[in-house]
């Protein structure tokens, strides 16, 4: 799960977790890793607990976890289940572990 400290319009502070990389963070937020570097000019190394300023977000990439339902995802990200179904062209409400779903960040 992505931990967001403070969210503003299409920008927020992100706390790095174990296993994160610039590539994975950029992919999760649908931005280029160069954008992260531009937004954090004093950045020198990535480590768990490090806080990064992230801007220019389009869609957030969410990987479905065990026992998670579409309702859970909608509630967690503050969007409607119907919006998730529509924006991901889903044929039903069924999701499975490892499935990738994109959430609009507008």
- CATH for 49: 3.10.350.10
Does 48 lie in the same domain as 91? no
Q: What is the per-residue burial (b if ≥16 Cβ within 10 Å, else e) of 9-48?
A: eeebebebeeebebeebbebbebeeebbeeeeeeeeeeee
Does 65 lie in the same domain as 49? no
Task: Give pTM, 2 decimals.
Answer: 0.52
C-alpha 8/C-alpha 36 separation (Å) is: 16
Does 79 lie in the same domain as 43? no
Does 65 lie in the same domain as 51? no
C-alpha 6/C-alpha 1 separation (Å) is: 15
Per-residue pLDDT of the chain (106 residues; tens, 9 = 90+): 444 444 444 677 889 999 999 999 888 877 888 888 988 888 888 999 999 988 876 677 788 999 999 999 999 989 999 999 987 788 999 999 999 888 876 5
Does 65 lie in the same domain as 48? no
Domain assignment of residue 99, given as a range:
60-104
Does 81 lie in the same domain as 51? no
Does 52 lie in the same domain as 66? no
Does 64 lie in the same domain as 43? no
């Amino acid at each position: 799960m992505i931990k967001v400290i403070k969210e503003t319009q299409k920008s927020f502070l992100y706390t790095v977790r174990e296993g994160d990389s610039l590539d994975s963070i950029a992919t999760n937020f649908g931005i280029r890793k160069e954008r992260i570097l531009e937004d954090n000019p004093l950045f020198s190394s990535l480590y768990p607990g490090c806080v990064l300023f992230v801007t220019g977000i389009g869609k957030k990439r969410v990987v479905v976890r065990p026992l998670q339902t579409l309702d859970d995802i909608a509630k967690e990200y503050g969007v409607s289940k119907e919006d998730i179904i529509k924006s991901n062209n889903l044929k039903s409400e069924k999701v499975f572990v490892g499935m990738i779903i994109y959430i609009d960040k507008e």
